Structure 1
Amino acid sequence: MRAASQASLTAAAERFETLWQQVGADAAQLGAQVLAVADVVRANGQLRRALTDPAAPGEAKAALVTTLLGSSTDGRVVDLLAGVVRSRWSHESDLAEALEQLGREAVLAGAEAEGVLDTVEEDLFRTQRFLVAQRDVREALVARVTNAAAREELIRQLFGPAVHPLTLMLLERITHQIDRAGSVSAVGALADAAAQRRSRTVAVVTSSTPLTREQEDRLRSGLARAYGRQVQLNITVDPSVLGGMRVQVGPDVIDGTVSARVADARRRLAG
């Protein structure tokens, strides 16, 4: 997002967060209403343009939202959404993206209030690792002949029985990001959002053997000092790395595996 849209999203997120804190676990259901509005805005170009037109008065746009949503949406959500469309948006597509993020945060806030945020975060991590390993599933999700409804049904069939209902609610939303980001990245973004909800950073650790509790504690402490916040370790054991470990925190990668050192040595010899 450009600066104006990002500023509007930041301001909206602060207002919505107040409501999520007030309603506790009900935030997830209110978030579902926000996500439903995001779908409507995403699918209707004329509506998007009307709600983001910089020449239109803010009150007129707010009135349009109130009229459209009527009694189908919680009044508190309607009031907040009216404030969202009063704000300035750099591009019409930014509005749907902002609503998607606001709805996602509501689901995570509901999970936090319900005491299952840890479970949702772990579900998302396991789902991401599954997608990394299952190329046929990734291809099915991005196939041009697969529409959004079919993608959501596939996600429900694959993950519905194995994850928390709030996790499934989030996973169904990746159908809107898959074409742009890919399924692995889309789920990874959800996992990062869950971690950020707990003010923690996710470190994806790949090791040739299971780490001892002492090793985990040392790694967690070192990363916490480096990043200035708590760090959640998501550890995968992969014998193919031969030895050592690979640590990825967002875009930062520390690869101390034997396989990486061997590959580097081969490149040096070949070059």
Structure 2
Amino acid sequence: MSPQATGTALRGISAASQKDVLQAVESVDPASAARLGAELFSVVGVLDGAAALRRVLTDPSTELEAKQGLAQSVLGGKVSEETITVVKVAARGRWAAGRDFVDGLETAGVAALVASVDAEGRLDELETELFEVGRTIASDGELRGVVSDRSIPREHKLTLLDRLFEGKVLPQTLELVRQAAAARTGSFERVLERFGETAAARRQRLVALVRVAYQLGDDEQQRLTSALAGKYGRDVHLNIVVDPSVVGGIVVSVGDEVVDGTMSSRLETARRRLAG
């Protein structure tokens, strides 16, 4: 497996260091990758609350042996050796800021969880579940408010998310949803969307948001997937939203590009032309 660009986009020396961290993740046995991802998220939580520790681990003037010894003493017995190894690789790198160091470890955690699902042959399922969880939360104003409210302790949010989704989605999906609730690098919705993009990027696929008036059949989905793959030269994963306001036709968004083929759009265009 080769490392994929995932998570928060880092630049310069931080990007080079993150590449090394992702390579360390890819060297881990896929059977251990889910545990690695969850443990890296726990390490991220510790580092977010320990500025002094972040400074030492990212200080270029501190000897590597001292950094790695500190990582071992802090994490030893609390997480697996695979996780400590990844943290040591991160400590060996050079980072533009302590925040980049922690963001890089979060990205590594996402990559590990995605790799574990890929090894199980359930990557499509993960992508769809992340999208559907995001829609579920976004469609409920009260639920969205709780998840987005930074004044509510994260533990309370996690309890709520577990109650709603545990046993209904893949364990890796739930782990990613829980991490998105930390909203470290953006809103819950944006972070969850980025995690979905990471899953798609593992197979170098694009993600298309499709809005239709009715649920597409398997044949229709396959034709649309093939058409989009032909247009963009890459495989495409469809996230489908049934929207009754779409009066015939389809709206497809791929990244910032919107292909609007709906009947309602054409009617509105005609109405504006008649109105002068």
Tell whether 2:122 aligns with 1:122.
no
Which deviates more, 221-230 or 260-269?
260-269
Deviations 1:32-86 (A, max 9, x none): 2222211111111111111111222333222211222223332233223212111
CA distance, structure 1, for counterparts of residue 252 and residue 128 of structure 2: 18
Q: Which runs of 5+ in 2 are unaligned?
A: 1-9
Q: Is the 8 A contact 2:182 2:188 kept in 1?
A: no
CA distance, structure 2, for counterparts of residue 127 and residue 267 of structure 1: 37
Shift of 1:26: 2.0
Tell whether 2:20 aligns with 1:11.
yes
Shift of 1:11: 2.0
Report the identity percentage.
Answer: 37
TM-score (norm 2): 0.87
Tell whether 2:163 aligns with 1:157.
yes
Q: RMSD across aligned C-alpha pairs, in angstroms?
A: 2.3
Tell whether 2:94 aligns with 1:85.
no
TM-score (norm 1): 0.88
Amino acid at match of 1:136: E
Residue of structure 2 in register with 1:57 after alignment: 63
Residue of structure 2 in register with 1:193 after alignment: 198
Which has the higher relative contact order, 1 or 2, with Cα contacts under 8 A spaced 6 or more apart? 2
Change (3 A) 1:208 1:33: same
Tell whether 2:54 aligns with 1:45.
no
CA distance, structure 1, for counterparts of residue 247 and residue 261 of structure 2: 11
Q: Is the 8 A contact 1:25 1:111 kept in 2?
A: no
Which deviates more, 140-149 or 67-76?
67-76
Amino acid at match of 2:259: I
Residue 113 of structure 2: which of 95, 107, 110 is its match? 107
How many residues in Structure 1 have an aligned counterpart in Structure 2?
Answer: 267
Structure 1 or 2: more helix by fraction:
1
Amino acid at match of 1:73: V
Amino acid at match of 2:17: S
Tell whether 2:80 aligns with 1:74.
yes
CA distance, structure 2, for counterparts of residue 132 and residue 266 of structure 1: 32
Amino acid at match of 2:122: V
Which aligned runs of 4 or more in structure 1 are off by greater than 6 angstroms? 265-271
Q: Which runs of 5+ in 1 are unaligned?
A: none
SS of residue in 1 equivalent to 2:76: helix
CA distance, structure 1, for counterparts of residue 134 and residue 181 of structure 2: 14
